[in-house]
Amino acid sequence: MIEYENLAKVNQPFFDKFKRAFKDVLESGWYILGGEVQKFEKEFASYNNVRYCSGVASGLDALILSIQVLELEKGSEIIVPSNTYIATILAILKNGLIPVLVEPDIKTYNIDSLKIETFITSKTKAVLVVHLYGKPCEMDTILDICKRKKLYLIEDCAQAHGAEYKGRKVGGFGDFGAFSFYPTKNLGCLGDGGAITTNKSEYHDKIKMLRNYGSDKKYHNKYIGINSRLDEIQASFLNIKLKVLDHINQHKRTLAQLYLDNLKDDHILPLVHKDFFDVYHIFNIRHEKRDELKAYLLKNNIKTEIHYPVAPHKQKALSFLSDQSFPISEEIHKTTLSLPVSYFHTKDDILKVIEVLNKF
């Protein structure tokens, strides 16, 4: 059986280091917002070529807090891709704001930068882009729009740690980069975790308060904050894994290249372009007979996933969007299939998947 994901196998190379890190944190007696978190924030900021980074409790919180910092007027609209994971849209709703969904480009699966402008109204205050599957968005066009229309820019980098657009890492293009360290992500911890990157010191100072009850000084509260702190334990694991993030990404890129070089034409492959340094959090193909293909692979002992089976505007929780039509998103949701591309997979695993796929 070729599994889609196996987190014990992904983390196995780090077990000894994790055990030592756990022992150190355990014996230190300091479990929340201490030296490990500070070290991680400094090193993750440096890795992403940004000035500041704040650890938070999850990727969703990273998005929620990024938006909260801006204190946007009630009724403000935020532009977001229509085919994203629901967390991106929830973060807008949790701030009491209005998500305006824009269709993706069918080739990149990322927000269609050429369509954004037609959705801008007097209420639009920000664009929230998602570097989906580990491919960066078309940042030149997006930055230009945000500058001309005076819109804030937030990047959802939950699937794109280390991805680059024209040689620049994601997470530093906009006002904020929101990262998740959920265990399956390219940089994953052993529980929940997240981080917000920014180049503005006033944003950074405010995030550090908002994540800690809005407190600037112990028992003195400046904002209506929340409790969203990265644990010392998780930060200690992240400090170990951050050192090999480039290696993890490179491994996934090598596996992806095998698919790109060897899969036959009737599978629609992800776009490769010199502007994008993709990190393949997900390697997806598209196929007319997706469900049949998935069943066929399973019969041949190959597990796959679908990211995502239901488009956000078709979710019960977002029924207020159900009267809108997003044909491109729907086409993607109907035809996309995610192939094994994890850190623990070997080249032989992937060659086996290719062999089976090419016989379909």
Ligand X SMILES: *Cc1c(COP(=O)(O)O)cnc(C)c1O
Q: Give 84: exposed, middle or buried? Use CB within 10 Å, 0-12, 13-18, 19+.
A: buried
Q: Which residue has the tokens 């977001």?
A: 80
| 25 neighbors 197 (Cβ within 8 angstroms) | no
When the beta carbons of 210 and 357 are compared against ligand X, the nearer one is 210
Residue 88: CB minimum distance to ligand X, A = 5
CA angle at 161 for the pair 106 and 347, rounded to the nearest 5°: 80
Residue 156: CB minimum distance to ligand X, A = 5
Strands (E) located in the chain: 52-56, 77-81, 98-102, 124-130, 152-156, 164-165, 168-169, 176-180, 194-198, 215-217, 220-221, 276-277, 283-286, 336-339
Question: Which of residues 55, 194, 312, 340 is near ligand X by CB under 6 A?
Answer: 194
Identity of residue 318: L
Distance CA(103)–CA(152), nearest Å, equals 19
When the beta carbons of 66 and 84 are compared against ligand X, the nearer one is 84
Residues numbered 115 to 134 that lie near ligand X (CB under 6 A) are: 130
Q: Could you say whether residue 60 binds ligand X (CB under 6 A)?
A: yes
- CA nearest neighbour of 225 among 212, 234, 236, 216: 212
Distance CA(24)–CA(175), nearest Å, equals 35
Using Cβ positions, the residue closest to ligand X within the complex turns out to be 59
When the beta carbons of 65 and 357 are compared against ligand X, the nearer one is 65
Residue 128: CB minimum distance to ligand X, A = 10
Task: List the structure tokens of 205.
Answer: 């100072």
Q: Could you say whether residue 182 binds ligand X (CB under 6 A)?
A: yes
Collapsing DSSP to helix, strand or coil, 126 comes out as strand
Question: Which of residues 2, 158, 187, 255 is near ligand X by CB under 6 A?
Answer: 158
Distance CA(182)–CA(187), nearest Å, equals 8
| 251 neighbors 350 (Cβ within 8 angstroms) | no
Pick the piece of the chain touching ligand X (CB under 6 A) from 145-153, 155-163, 214-222, 233-241.
155-163
Number of residues that bind ligand X (CB under 6 A): 15
Residue 62: CB minimum distance to ligand X, A = 8
Q: Could you say whether residue 59 binds ligand X (CB under 6 A)?
A: yes
When the beta carbons of 63 and 70 are compared against ligand X, the nearer one is 63
Mode of pairing for the β-strands spanning 194-198 and 52-56: antiparallel
Q: Could you say whether residue 311 binds ligand X (CB under 6 A)?
A: no
Question: Which of residues 156, 231, 232, 349 is near ligand X by CB under 6 A?
Answer: 156
Pick the piece of the chain touching ligand X (CB under 6 A) from 53-61, 145-153, 164-172, 343-351.
53-61
Pick the piece of the chain touching ligand X (CB under 6 A) from 48-56, 79-87, 339-347, 351-359.
79-87
Pick the piece of the chain touching ligand X (CB under 6 A) from 43-51, 58-66, 209-217, 308-316.
58-66
Distance CA(350)–CA(150), nearest Å, equals 45
Q: Could you say whether residue 136 binds ligand X (CB under 6 A)?
A: no
Question: Which of residues 58, 113, 228, 338 is near ligand X by CB under 6 A?
Answer: 58
Q: Could you say whether residue 228 binds ligand X (CB under 6 A)?
A: no
When the beta carbons of 152 and 349 are compared against ligand X, the nearer one is 152
Pick the piece of the chain touching ligand X (CB under 6 A) from 84-92, 217-225, 287-295, 340-348.
84-92
Q: Give 328: exposed, middle or buried? Use CB within 10 Å, 0-12, 13-18, 19+.
A: middle
Residue 57: CB minimum distance to ligand X, A = 8
When the beta carbons of 337 and 357 are compared against ligand X, the nearer one is 337
- CA nearest neighbour of 357 among 299, 277, 278, 276: 299
Pick the piece of the chain touching ligand X (CB under 6 A) from 4-12, 45-53, 80-88, 320-328.
80-88
What are the angstrom distances between the C-alpha of 153 and each of 25, 69, 89, 181, 318?
36, 12, 15, 21, 23
Interface residues with ligand X (CB under 6 A) are: 58-60, 84-85, 87-88, 130, 156, 158-159, 180, 182, 192, 194
